């Protein structure tokens, strides 16, 4: 069952109810967030270290719902796996490769400092808990495939630039070379070939919709978004030179440094 985010603005600190209001909450970026929001229920076959996965919220608005979690650290394979092999490995663990919507939310939240683990606990920068700093280091220094595959949209559909997005959810029984995809969904309008605002808006699929006010690299605040190519996969890269999100990587490409963030899907009810 999805977990609900509680975010409230409180501007009148002299109000007699202020002390009561802030109990059980933490002030971050002008808002109060509940310290605990409940635990995400996962399928019994999903075996993860719950304190090492972060909830994925589509937005940080009050009432936003999360029913997915993303690993706080990148997974790598010493030999280097391509897009298809990474999907096979993740699915073999009863997990999924993170999608664009997962990584853009994690990138936003880690840099803002609003992260909840899978047990619904707000991760704070405090003595004895280094997870927030580790999350920022992980997402600001990474190179990963994302489970978003670009295809031509069906005739008559309204996909942005005539494109659609689908995700790998399995492989044909008896033929590991035949992936099973979700139904292709028309791509919604988003930023392309420009610097996007990490803390700005995203469409329903998790793609950036706001151009950055300043078109230059600024870690944790801007990200360069490349163009799309039909039949290609998505890659997220972040380092000291600037962050980027590309939608035109060959799914056959493999490199020991190119990994993934794993993700877990919560129970529907």
| Residue 78 pLDDT greater than 90, yes or no | no
Q: How confident is the model at residue 11 (pLDDT cuts 50, 70, 90)?
A: low
| Residue 97 pLDDT greater than 70, yes or no | yes
| Residue 149 pLDDT greater than 70, yes or no | yes
- What average pLDDT is seen over the chain? 92
pTM of the model: 0.93
Which residue pairs from 199-206 have beta carbons closer than 8 angstroms and sit at least 24 positions apart in sequence? 199/108, 199/111, 199/112, 202/58, 202/59, 202/101, 202/104, 202/105, 204/58, 205/100, 205/101, 205/165, 206/58, 206/99, 206/100, 206/101, 206/102, 206/104, 206/105
| Residue 13 pLDDT greater than 70, yes or no | no
Mean pLDDT over residues 70-74, rounded?
Answer: 98
Q: How confident is the model at residue 242 (pLDDT cuts 50, 70, 90)?
A: confident
pLDDT at 175: 75
Of 32-41, 166-175, 253-262, the range with the lowest mean pLDDT is 166-175
Mean pLDDT over residues 127-134, rounded?
Answer: 87
Mean pLDDT over residues 201-228, rounded?
Answer: 95
| Residue 7 pLDDT greater than 60, yes or no | yes
The residue ranges of every structural domain in the chain are 3-12+24-265
Mean pLDDT over residues 111-128, rounded?
Answer: 91
| Residue 14 pLDDT greater than 60, yes or no | no
């Amino acid at each position: 069952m999805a977990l609900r985010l509680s975010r409230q603005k409180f501007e009148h600190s002299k109000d007699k109810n202020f002390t009561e209001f802030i109990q059980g909450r933490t002030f971050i970026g002008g808002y109060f967030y509940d310290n605990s929001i409940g635990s995400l229920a996962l399928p019994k076959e999903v075996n993860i270290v719950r304190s090492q996965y972060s909830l994925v919220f589509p937005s940080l608005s009050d009432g936003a719902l999360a029913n997915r979690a993303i690993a706080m650290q990148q997974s790598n394979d010493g030999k280097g796996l391509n897009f298809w092999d990474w999907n096979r490995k993740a699915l073999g663990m009863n997990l999924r490769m993170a999608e664009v919507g997962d990584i853009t939310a994690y990138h936003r939240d880690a840099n803002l400092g609003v992260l909840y683990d899978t047990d619904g606990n707000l991760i704070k920068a405090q003595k004895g808990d280094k997870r927030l700093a580790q999350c920022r280091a992980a997402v600001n220094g990474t190179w990963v495939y994302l489970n978003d595959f670009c295809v031509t949209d069906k005739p008559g559909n309204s996909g942005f630039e005539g494109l659609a997005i689908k995700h790998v959810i399995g492989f044909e029984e008896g033929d590991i070379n035949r992936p099973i995809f979700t139904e292709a969904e028309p791509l919604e309008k988003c930023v392309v070939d420009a610097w996007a605002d990490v803390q700005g808006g995203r469409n329903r699929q998790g793609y950036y919709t706001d151009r950055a006010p300043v078109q230059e690299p600024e870690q944790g605040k801007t990200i360069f978004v490349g163009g799309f190519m039909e039949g290609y996969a998505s890659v997220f890269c972040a380092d000291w030179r600037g962050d980027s999100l590309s939608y035109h990587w060959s799914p056959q490409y493999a490199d020991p440094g190119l990994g993934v963030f794993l993700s877990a899907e919560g129970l529907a009810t």
